[in-house]
Structures are given as C-alpha cells and as structure tokens.
Structure 1
Amino acid sequence: MEWTRPEQPVIPQTWYTFKAKDVDSDRLITYRVEDLTEDRFDDVIQHYMENFLDDEPLCQSKKVSEDELSLAEIRGFWRWCLNKRMTIACYKKGSREIVGAYLLHVKGSKKLLDAKIRGEKLKDIVATNEYMTDQYDVQKQYDVEYYLTAYGLAINQRYRGREIATEMLKVRVPLCRAFGIKVTATNFTALASQLAAAKVGFRTDLEVTYDDFAKMGPHYFYPGIKSKSLKLMSLKIE
C-alpha cells in the first residue's frame, strides 16, 4: 500500500537549522532545512542536473547525462518524487538560493522497476539498488510497513566542504518522528556519503563491492567507479 503525506503538518515546515561556513568566507552563518515548495520544483530539477548526475558514482559511471532516454526518465522520476511532498531543501539565512536538496520518499511495497524503465543505463542503476533491498528486506527486518528512504542528496558545488550533507542527513530524525515512521534506510553509493551516514548514527546492514557487482554481469558493471562498495544503511528512530 502506498503512503501519502498527511495534511498536517502543513508545508513548508522548517525541520532543522545549523551553523556552517558561508560560501565565500570562514564566517559561520545559519542554514535551515525545510520542505520544498511546489514553486521550486523546476529549480530543484535543474539543481540535480548540475550537482548530481555527474557526481553520484553510479550515474557518473553509466554516463546517464549523455543518454537521452535515461536522462528524460530520471528527470521524470525526480518530478514524481517531488510530487510525493517529502523532498527537503537547504537554504542559508536570508536567501532562497538552493544550497542542497534531498529527494526523500516513504517506501512501501512498490518497486521502482514496476514503472517499466526503458533507458538501459537507468535500468541498470535501478536494478543495482533493488538488488540491495531484495537481499536485505528493511520492512521485514524491522517489522514495519513503511520506511523513509532517499533517492539522492545533492549539494550545490559552491557550498561543498562544509559538512552540509552530514547536517542534512540529520533531518531524517525529526521527519520520521513527525510522521510516526520508525526506520529510515538508504543505499549509499559513495564513500563520503557512507562516512556521513555513519557519523549521524546509521548502521551498515548490507555491503556489496562494485567488484562483486561486476561479476554478476555487464548490467552491474560500473566502469571507472571510484567508490569501493554500495552500502545499505539504516537508522532506527527512537
């Protein structure tokens, strides 16, 4: 059964604030993490085009940005995710510039491959991710109907190196508590994101190296990938 966000709390909510360095100085300023509003959907899709596709290890390796069909389908997927109204964005105080965005989704039983993906590059990436959740069934392991997952955290390149991604990961806790969700879990594809998740308290439930994926056949081969492994990591919400 598909989960739907309740009408309360209303959008937008500010879920978390933190201090980090400004973009052009060492001065500490306040950043806020809040619900993404519908008027920023197009801006966030452009943000992911510029700050995710050529940086995220699987998309980078498969060169999704160079494949017209996969690119069109991933943009369509992003918009689908935005319409679920769980995506959050990070802004600095007094600004509406998108510092970071996080595609969050409350997952039930439906698989992404049910959407009949046609782009071969994107299909390979989805199959890789779903292999992980097939091997480690989060709902079964934690005895929950739903859990909060994510489909990509993208930080504006100008703001990197300030641990903003780590701070944005923390917002999953108040979000889960607000909606009565007991677990959050995600496939983390890059070493940096895995380290950030561990720092926040996520545990590793399953790890598969990209070398081992390559042994499974060409669809699971990621040429030139710099990361060592894919980790399914989870955090139980107390």
Structure 2
Amino acid sequence: MGWIRPQKPTIPTVWHTFQARDVDSDRTVTYRVEDLTEDRHDDLIRFLSTYFLEDEPQCQNKQISQDEVALAEMVSFWRWCFAEKMTIVCYREGSNEIVGANLLQVKGREKPRDINTNSEKLLDMIMTNRYMTEQFKVCEQYGVDWYLNAYGLAINRCYRGRGIATEILRARVPICQTFGIKVTTTIFTSLGSQLAAAKVGFNVNFEMTYDDFAKMGPRYSYAGIQSKSSKLMSLKID
C-alpha cells in the first residue's frame, strides 16, 4: 500500500515564507510556499505547460508540448500527481498568480509502476529516469521506508533570478519533518535546478552525462539537449 497523506495538517498549509524582489521592481516582498488546492489544478496545468514543458531539458529536447499524444499523457500524469496531495506552489503575497511549483510524491520500497504510454518520446524519458533510480536505490541506501520524491520544478520566467527555486526546495524540509520523512530525493535535469538544490544542501548520489546516455543506444539519446548531465540528488532531513 502506498503512502497516504494524513488529514492534518489541513490543505493548504503554508510551509515556507521568504523575502525576495518583486516582479517589476527592486522592492522586497514576501512570498509563500503552500499546498496546491483543488481549485488551482487547471491553473497549474496551464502553468506547467508553459514553463515546465518549454524549459525542462528533456521535455524541451523531445518537444513534448508539440506532440499531441505525449502532451495528453503528461497532463494525465500531472493530475495523478496532484491527487497525491503533496504538490506545492509559490505565491507572492497579495497575488494569486502562480510564481513557481514543485510536483511532489512520497515513494517507498514498492516496485516501479508499469510503464503505460503510447508515446515513444515519453517512454524514452521514463526509461532514462528509471535508469537513474536503478543506479541508486534511495530506500536501501538511506535505510528508510519512504522518501519525498519530485516530478518537476518550474518557475514563472518573470520571477527568475530571485532565488525562488531554491526557496521552494527549502520548503521540503518542514514538509518532511511534519510527516516524519527522513530523505528527499530528485533527479535534477537542468543546471539551474542542480545549483538550487546544492544551495539547499542536496548531495549528488549519481550523475550521468547525456553523452554517456547516448552511448547506451537511441532510446537514451538527446541530441542537442541544453544540459550537460542528469543528477540524482538527495537531502537528509534531521
């Protein structure tokens, strides 16, 4: 049986607040990171379609946003992830505009889900990331039954350069502490997210360059990808 979020704390819980520059001035304002609420699901789908699919290196390389089948399956996957009730979003105080988001899920020692996709492009990405997780089995390596995993980090382009990705990642600490989770792990695919994770204290467990992936065969080839490598990184929670 998979992990189920307890009824308390209730949704939305504000997990983290921080100060950063406003969107259109050097004025410092407050931002908050909180649970995604059901009434914002469609808004987040649009946000991810704009900022995640166009900017995440693998999705960008495979042109997922331009592939009708892949896009539909990606949206379906996002909705499944939302149903886990762990996704977090960032807002600027006084505004309901989504500034950033991180799709989270608690994973355990269960076997990987069966691959069910009609898109060869998505299958390539699934196999690439599954290879990464097979090289470093988080539960076994850290001696835990559960860890907080992520399936995407995205920031509104208007708000970049303010350290918001780093602050969203920091929100995982109180989330894990609240639910008794000792490790959070993610495959970070872009340099920006890798640097943000390092600032928070994530350590690299396994790294694979895309040049080395290409040597494994066409399924793992990302010719011209705007990233050097993929990094599986983890943060232990005290």
TM-score, shorter chain, exceeding 0.5: yes
**Which runs of no fewer than 5 residues in structure 2 stay unpaired?**
none
Q: CA deviation at 1:110?
A: 4.2
Where in structure 2 are the equivalents of 1:86-97 lying within 5 Å? 86-97=86-97
Size of the alignment, in residue pairs?
237
The aligned counterpart of 1:163 is 163
> Partners in 1 of 2:8 and 2:118 — Cα distance?
37
The aligned counterpart of 1:195 is 195
> Partners in 2 of 1:228 and 1:51 — Cα distance?
20
Q: CA deviation at 1:116?
A: 1.1
Change (3 A) 1:110 1:77: farther
Deviates more, 1:103-112 or 1:166-175: 103-112
> Partners in 2 of 1:118 and 1:110 — Cα distance?
21
* 2:38 maps to 1:38: yes
> Partners in 1 of 2:15 and 2:105 — Cα distance?
16
**Which runs of no fewer than 5 residues in structure 1 stay unpaired?**
none
Moved over 3 A (4+): none
The aligned counterpart of 2:153 is 153
* 2:135 maps to 1:135: yes
Q: CA deviation at 1:39?
A: 0.3
Q: Deviations over 1:155-197 (max 9, x none)?
A: 1111111110011010010000000001000100011111110
AA of the residue aligned to 2:212:
D
> Partners in 1 of 2:8 and 2:215 — Cα distance?
47
> Partners in 2 of 1:8 and 1:200 — Cα distance?
26
Change (3 A) 1:117 1:88: same
Q: Secondary structure at the match of 2:98?
A: coil
> Partners in 2 of 1:226 and 1:100 — Cα distance?
21
Q: Secondary structure at the match of 1:132?
A: helix
> Contact 1:62–1:223 (CA<8 Å) still a contact in 2?
no
Q: Secondary structure at the match of 1:12?
A: coil
Q: Deviations over 1:206-225 (max 9, x none)?
A: 00100000000111001211
* 2:55 maps to 1:55: yes
Q: Secondary structure at the match of 1:102?
A: strand
AA of the residue aligned to 2:91:
Y
AA of the residue aligned to 1:150:
A
C-alpha RMSD of the superposition: 0.9
